[in-house]
Amino acid sequence: MKILIAKPGLDGHDRGAKVVAQALRDAGHEVVYTGLKRTPEEIVAEAIQEDVGVVGLSILSGAHLLLTRRVIEGLRAAGAGDVGVIVGGTIPPRDVESLRALGAAAIFPMSTPLTDIVAAFTTRRLGEPQDVAGLGPRRPRRAI
Amino acid sequence: MKDLRLNAGIPVKPSYGPEDLAGHDVDAEVGRPGEYPFTRGIHRAMYRERLWTMRQYVGFGTPAQTNARFKHLMAHGQDALNVAFDLPTQLGLDSDDPRAEGEVGRVGMAVDTLADMEAAFAGIPLDRVSVSLTINGMAAPITAMYYAVAERQGVAADKVVTTPQNDILKEFIARGTWVYPVEPSLRLVADLIEFSARRYPRSNPVSVCGYHIREAGCTTAQEMAYGLAIAAAYVELMLARGMAVDDFAPRLSFNFTCWGKIFEEVAKFRAGRRLYARMMRERFGATNPRSCMFRSLIGGGGSAFTAQEPENNIVRGAYIALTAALSGAQTMALPTYDEAYTIPSAKAQLIALRTMQICAEESGAADTADPLGGAYYVEALTNAMEERIVEELAAVERMGGIVEAVKSGAIQAEVARQAYLHEQRLAAGEIRKVAVNCHVGDAGAEADRDVELYAFDPTVAEAQVKQLARVRAERDGDAATAALRRLADEARGTANLMPAITECVKAYATLGEINRALKDVFGEHREPVGF
């Protein structure tokens, strides 16, 4: 699968994004990384241009609800609503359900094991939100 | 017996003895506390004369909200401030900029104009409190605002003690608040160092950071090596301007993390101090002993803390405080136990402060300088760490030096590679983390849910945008425009930009306007994207 790992907003912390990108690459996926501080519009355009199946958003600034909504709405408006959107980063428990309601296919809060993230991408069903509710980490996620 | 290696790759033996120091002239290499090469610390009596400064990183919402939290912590014994700015401020965007939406006041306090800095420090005497400003890409205008606030409080320039972080090279490597390309960014760093060295003799106009690079994934030895390489790059910048090394080097300062293995961290700082002292004297010709002193904030890294069973982080914080004390910290700051979730709650912030106070008052770690000095293991490890740091410095040279390595992205790629290796070691259980990959218990489920978290106040942005509109309406618009025009003109030349930036700030030009004036001349950095 081709995956876009993206850093929306102003947050400059890219350790998680780069670690996940390397793990997905090693798992055999084709991974494109946007670099820091991209606007939701830029991410939507790059996702379409690169023809990716999934966009992984890495957000550690706390602005995840707004930025995720913008990316999902942007993809839908551009006729790319079938592109799955996954969100990882500093996501407090109280926001996980809100992100799901916005249409995020999977959410990976702090301390999600890397193997769980790779496994979720590898199911290849992330474009179908109704199928992915059970695609979270193997371990029951606490605090959700 | 299982092979055991430290984060820097150094193997650890089950025990150490005099044979591990054979061939070393311990007296010369280690020396005494307060004496060159400062392996054992930069002061003779260390904490018996002056305890480390306690400087928690604080800032959120509006300047008025942050001002109240500053006063709360100072009332509980915190003796210095370390200001957190929100991301729009760190990147030079006004609070009403479309790109600032959702980020205003979120991870730090919002600053648009001098009026905000006046509100942030209202009632805080800047001749008696030292203030760190965690600001880099926007260090020049924010520090100009700080100097202006001090001036308006009637504080003499030689009484102002402030430490703008002002370390842009590590931003390109790890923290991301760069705006302009590397060269003009370095010019601004040097402008602030030069301006401060000449007019604000007690200001520490740069805090060279290994901290954030380590947080981004590099090893302990790389953290120290990259920090030393960055410090050398700034020294060279100032020498190229014609300044004498002893005219600015005594005010250079550092910011490093310490988490993980206690003795490895202590050895990192002992080796780092020795290498820095030798570099300043032998390579740069410093003669003032103060130019050779590695003065550092040592704080814990949030990377040490876990989302699982977060109360355990309070215990980790106590070990970090002990490590920082044993490492000879001048200033200490701790992450808070809720670090993995959000910015700190008031309760978490107070517990972190109390942790440092307990370490200072109760543990005995502050009783004597470098209490671990002379231990076979610690001295052998200090030597081994020094070798590793020297190897990493050579690796930076092979990348073309730190500035070229930043431009090409080679160093960013190495840090990302190390971050991935760390994650793999964690997954494999080679690095042990309680309640994460060992001793995982069901009790954690309840503990997680009980954490009281900081709740972001969504009305902050609206209040901040209103305040910005009021300042714009009330200021002398012509004066602001003229000051901004002068700044753009001078940016095209080679003059030190601090006087022009100061004029803009005092005319209540906004941070966004100042940034735009500079960006129009300098352009924007293009990140060498890779992983």
Report yes or no on A140 lying in a domain.
no
Domain enclosing residue A110, as ranges:
2-135
Find the residue in A nearest to B91 (Cα). Answer: A10
CB contact under 8 A, B215 and A92: no
B87 in contact with A, Cβ within 8 Å:
yes
Report yes or no on B375 lying in a domain.
no
Residues B292-320 have pLDDT tens digits of: 999 999 988 889 999 999 999 999 999 99
Report yes or no on A116 lying in a domain.
yes
- Chain B positions touching A18 (Cβ under 8 A) are 416, 419-420, 531
Domain enclosing residue B408, as ranges:
39-367+380-449
A133 in contact with B, Cβ within 8 Å:
no
Are the C-beta atoms of B78 and B124 separated by less than 8 Å? no
Question: Is pLDDT above 60 for B166?
Answer: yes
Report yes or no on A86 lying in a domain.
yes
CB contact under 8 A, B87 and A90: no
Question: Is pLDDT above 80 for B452?
Answer: no
Per-residue pLDDT, A144 = 30
Of B176, B417, B456, the CB nearest to A14: B176
Taking the C-alpha atoms of residue B263 and residue B387, their distance in angstroms, rounded to an integer, is: 16
CB contact under 8 A, B445 and A114: no
- CATH (domain of B419): 3.20.20.240
- How far apart are the CA of B28 and the nearest CA of chain A, in angstroms? 40
B367 pLDDT band, cuts 50/70/90, is: very high
φ/ψ of residue B430, rounded to 5: -70, -35
Mutation target vs A (from B97, B257, B423; most A CBs, 10 A cutoff): B423
Per-residue pLDDT, A128 = 47
Task: Tell the residue number behind the tokens 């014994």, with chain if given.
Answer: B77
Q: Where are the alpha helices (DSSP H) in B13-85?
A: 26-30, 63-75
Question: Is pLDDT above 80 for B442?
Answer: no
Give the residue among B521, B481, B516, B483 at the shortest CA–CA distance from B500.
B483
N-terminal to C-terminal alpha carbon distance within chain A: 28
CB pairs under 8 A between A and B: 110
Residues B226-257 have pLDDT tens digits of: 999 999 999 999 999 999 999 999 999 999 99
A109 in contact with B, Cβ within 8 Å:
yes
Report yes or no on B210 lying in a domain.
yes
Question: So what's the ipTM on this one?
Answer: 0.94
Token representation of residue A62 = 């706390």
B26 pLDDT band, cuts 50/70/90, is: confident
Find the residue in A nearest to B424 (Cα). Answer: A114
Give the residue among B192, B121, B203 at the shortest CA–CA distance from B158.
B203
- Chain A positions touching B453 (Cβ under 8 A) are 92, 94
Give the residue among B367, B363, B451, B356 at the shortest CA–CA distance from B76.
B356
Q: What mean pLDDT is predicted for residues B368-395? A: 98
Task: Tell me the three state secondary structure of residue B422.
Answer: helix
CB contact under 8 A, B103 and A63: yes
Are the C-beta atoms of B411 and B247 separated by less than 8 Å? no
pLDDT tens track of chain A, all 144 residues?
899 999 999 999 999 999 999 999 999 999 999 999 999 999 999 999 999 999 999 999 999 999 999 999 999 999 999 999 999 999 988 899 999 999 999 999 998 989 899 988 876 555 444 333 333 333 333 333
Report yes or no on A144 lying in a domain.
no
Report yes or no on B458 lying in a domain.
no
CB contact under 8 A, B529 and A15: no
Question: Is pLDDT above 60 for B488?
Answer: yes
Report yes or no on B465 lying in a domain.
no
B28 pLDDT band, cuts 50/70/90, is: confident
Are the C-beta atoms of A53 and A25 separated by less than 8 Å? no
Task: Tell the residue number behind the tokens 């949030």, with chain if given.
Answer: B302
Residue B37, preceding bond cis, omega within 30 degrees? yes
CB contact under 8 A, A62 and B175: no
Q: How many domains does chain A have?
A: 1
DSSP characters over B431-465? S--BTTTBS--THHHHHHHT-------TTHHHHHH
- Chain A positions touching B448 (Cβ under 8 A) are 93, 142-143
DSSP class of residue A141? P
- Chain A positions touching B527 (Cβ under 8 A) are 35-36
φ/ψ of residue B500, rounded to 5: -70, -40
Helices (H) and strands (E) in chain B, counts: 21, 9
CB contact under 8 A, A10 and B87: yes
Taking the C-alpha atoms of residue A44 and residue B167, their distance in angstroms, rounded to an integer, is: 33
Report yes or no on B304 lying in a domain.
yes
Give the residue among A40, A37, A34, A8 at the shortest CA–CA distance from A21.
A34
Mutation target vs B (from A19, A30, A102; most B CBs, 10 A cutoff): A19
Question: Is pLDDT above 70 for B39?
Answer: yes
Q: What mean pLDDT is predicted for residues B161-168? A: 98
Taking the C-alpha atoms of residue B11 and residue B291, their distance in angstroms, rounded to an integer, is: 34
Cα torsion angle, B121, B125, B131, B133, sign: positive
Report yes or no on A65 lying in a domain.
yes
Residues B198-233 have pLDDT tens digits of: 999 999 999 999 999 999 999 999 999 999 999 999
B391 pLDDT band, cuts 50/70/90, is: very high
B68 in contact with A, Cβ within 8 Å:
no
B452 in contact with A, Cβ within 8 Å:
no
Q: What mean pLDDT is predicted for residues B266-295? A: 98
Per-residue pLDDT, B399 = 98
Report yes or no on A143 lying in a domain.
no
Q: How many CB atoms lie within 10 A of CB B526?
A: 9
Q: What mean pLDDT is predicted for residues B336-352? A: 92
Give the residue among A89, A116, A118, A114 at the shortest CA–CA distance from A104.
A89
CB contact under 8 A, B449 and A90: no
Report yes or no on A83 lying in a domain.
yes
B242 in contact with A, Cβ within 8 Å:
no
B448 pLDDT band, cuts 50/70/90, is: low
% of chain B beyond a pLDDT of 70: 98
Q: How many domains does chain B have?
A: 1
Report yes or no on B346 lying in a domain.
yes
Determine the longest span between alpha carbons in chain B, in angstroms.
76
- CATH (domain of A54): 3.40.50.280
Task: Tell the residue number behind the tokens 């007296």, with chain if given.
Answer: B27
Taking the C-alpha atoms of residue B230 and residue B402, their distance in angstroms, rounded to an integer, is: 7
| Edge-to-edge order in the sheet of strand B130-134 | B57-58, B80-84, B130-134, B162-164
Report yes or no on B439 lying in a domain.
yes
Residue B74: how many CA atoms within 13 Å on its side-chain side?
Answer: 18
Mutation target vs B (from A3, A5, A11, A15; most B CBs, 10 A cutoff): A15
Report yes or no on B488 lying in a domain.
no
Task: For B78-143, give the secondary structure using H, E and C.
Answer: CCEEEEEECHHHHCCCCCCCHHHCCCCCCCCECCCCHHHHHHHCCCCCCCCCEEEEECCCCHHHHH
B222 Cβ partners below 8 Å, 6+ apart?
A: B8, B213, B214, B392, B414, B415, B418
Find the residue in B nearest to A5 (Cα). Answer: B531
DSSP characters over B146-169? HHHHHHHTT--GGG--EEE---HH
Mean residue pLDDT of chain B comes to 95
